[in-house]
Amino acid sequence: MRLQEVQRTANLNAEELVDELVAARAALEAQERVVWWLERSVVEAMDAKGAEIVKTDSGTAKISRSVSYDYGILAGLREITSPEDLIGYTPEREVTKTEPERWNMTQAKTLAKLSSQHRAIIDNAKIEGAAKIKFQPKKGDS
């Protein structure tokens, strides 16, 4: 926003300021919808190309996906792994309340090295999150 646009509101009364605020919020919501649709379109276009990174004159777009795991499927690791080899796992326990079992997949991913069955369970438990675009403008662009 330019300084002139902000200074112009200094002479407005409360009612006019409210009207300006409502108009500004409506414009912001419209722009957020446009950005959301454009991000979805970029993700779809990149997925169709099989691209994780797209470089343009204005910068670089990179797809990132969060990953979580299905604990019901990971439970199969308990059945096929000896307790001394079971790393990254915290069993259900009672403290003041019952805590559900947890898997630290940063550590537990190494269980995939034990057998193809371990690898298959871990791969099958993976749940990818929604794709997000991270955009880095070129230096000098604002």
Q: Which of 138, 128, 117 is nearest to 65 (CA)?
A: 128
Q: Which stretch of DSSP H or E encloses residue 130?
A: strand 126-137
Q: Tell me the pLDDT tens digit for each residue of 24-66.
A: 888 999 999 999 999 999 999 999 999 999 999 999 999 998 9
pTM comes to: 0.51
Q: How far apart are CA 73 and CA 84, in angstroms?
A: 20
Range of the domain at 121: 52-142
Q: Please tell me the predicted confidence (pLDDT) of residue 3.
A: 59
Contact of 111 with 86, CB cutoff 8 Å: yes
In this structure, the answer to whether residues 75 and 137 fall within a common structural domain is yes
77 plus 141 within the same structural domain: yes
Per-residue model confidence as pLDDT tens digits over 80-92: 999 999 999 999 8
Same domain, 58 and 21: no
Tally the domains of the chain: 2
